[in-house]
Structure 1
Amino acid sequence: MILVTGGCGFIGSAFVLGWLNTSREPVVNLDLLTYAGHPGNLAAVAANEGYTFIRGDIGDSALVEQILTRHRPRAIINFAAESHVDRSISAPLAFAQTNVLGTLKLLETVHAWWRKLSPADASEFRFVHVSTDEVYGSLDPHDAGFTEQHRFQPNSPYSASKAASDHFVRAWHHTFGLPTLTTNCSNNYGPRQFPEKLIPLMIHNALRGEPLPVYGDGRQVRDWLHVDDHCTALNAVLERGRPGESYNIGGRSERTNLAVVDSICNALDALRPRKGGGRYIELLSHVQDRPGHDRRYAIDDSKIASELGWQPTVKFEQGIRATVQWYLDHEDWVESVTSGSYRQWVELHYKSAVPVA
């Protein structure tokens, strides 16, 4: 069996659903169920005999040790993280607590358990740490994409916390021999993403007739990776990756934020036209840019392509239309996660932001 941490979140739930749809190997999901972890994400497999959910913290060493001793996973895929840049600016200590100290405690507990395995089991074990391209910093418009050799230059509390966790994972391999692998992915999108991130936020606000808040001039560039493509890449890393290595995972779909919002609005115009006419893009509102906003990310995925034979398959325009359709078909899910605390957060970070021309 495998152990997934943070499996009720956006990417973690996509991984668990995909795994149980294609494999008979059981999954244990350890998740603390913070604001972005939604048990409804895995309602479809809640009764699956191959699925076990345990509510808890990766930093709870006693609990993690119990899980490892009882279930004896052949692999751990660590999704558990605080992951939103805006929240990290408001509350950086929470990101250090989960992403740095939580990962460190998890590594210590796993390593102590791993040392007791038989040589054969220890050799086959894998610890896959899921991270972000944001650890590399920002690129100029004509720079080549990030490779695995690019030096870390994190510019936000979030990316700094993930960079620290990546370094700890690397150290546990090189110092203690733990068979770790790290992945650094570009911006994900797809179903079940918490609506504080750009794409679901735009869909949510558009359907409510509210402004579509875009930071600054909206020309920041990101590489967009469909979550299902990300999950197939993680499978490839788990099964064929070399311990001690890191692998960049990209979608080969660089877009400005303005272009992404335009694609969302075009899909909404086609799938659910505005009442009373007009186009959704008319709701676009530029707001004051956030501090330290990275200008461009881009991924060079040649290593994972050449070593593991992986490449993305979901084209952005196809993926964004399917994503918009999912949110239209699951408005009950959106309502269940957009609680009072969510609305307070949006008020703080967007509605109170200064509109700009």
Structure 2
Amino acid sequence: MRQGIREDARGPVIRRLALALGGALALLTAPEAHAAGSVMAEATAGGSLRTWTLLGDLELRKDETFLTLGYTGARTGSDTALSHQLSAGVDHAPSEHWLLSGLVNVGLPKTSTTALSPERPLLGLPALNARGGYHSLGVQLAAGYDSAGFSDVEYGLDVGLGLTRYGLRRELFTRQDGSNESLYHREEPLFLARPSVGARLVLLDKWELGLRGGLSLYSGDPLSAGQFTQEELTEVLRRYTNAAEGRLLLKNFTQRRIQELAVDLSGRLLGVNALTGFPSAPALFDVKPSVAYRFSTRVRGQLSYAFTRYVPGEGYAHVLGTRWTFKLSGSVRLWASLSLQSDRVEGEPPLRSGLATLGSELTF
């Protein structure tokens, strides 16, 4: 049950943190000191989307306090820049029933450039490009309670709160004869608060029923934050003889920008995998029920369903998935997850995609 409370109290964000530096930190401790922990690696792919996570836990005080370090990388499209997030936190168990967690995460600066239109010498029009970027700084807090008993019915509860500040940058510039001319260059902040709650029920040490949910609260409209204003659009359209073409270019760029930010603005980049799905727009709320069965001490299967409601105007998503965990020994675990995601954007046909996750964990 100790492992269960540590995982649940972290929630879908904190529990997926990882970094192989945990082993390196163990080497820095005194030879006579007690050092234990784990390292975990996980990779998820679906279409052009990719994420990979490394996690390390180092025991600072036996069965009580753990240092957590993590790295997550993500690419939302083949022609978009990589997202990198670093994390550091502490898990502390003041008793056999309670676990408290704190985590700081830093999203490294990211910039993507999109060519909107090529140079048109005959019309005297330079090439038009758009550049968007952002960085983030956040903190995740969680508290979990586990019944930690040996009866036929056991349970666990946890609550969490994530607070993140995003610095969103945007720029329109032209390129002609090898030189750039900036039309607009702006940066603005966006704040996200994400409370979450989870519960699990363990029956006969075989069945486990789980339910998780989270709510995303933004300081502004995430669809317009970091996007180009009407004034900026007017400047773009003025440089084109075909105004309709200019509007279409900016509309396509805006939609692409929303999709690129969606995973990061979900506030749970570090917990994105096949079972949670890849958000295609900023989330408003999400809920995920699950059921798991332990076939033996080495094999565990799970079936889950996740529903994500995007902000108004962007629709919703369904994710149906399964995860199978195999314990090869007392210190090695492997798992694989598969899921089918269906995004329903208002006014458009459903978009379906398959997702797969592979992971491993070594405990020392």
Q: Taking structure 2 as the reference length, what is the TM-score of the superposition? A: 0.31
Structure with bigger RCO (C-alpha 8 Å, 6+ apart): 1
Larger radius of gyration: 2
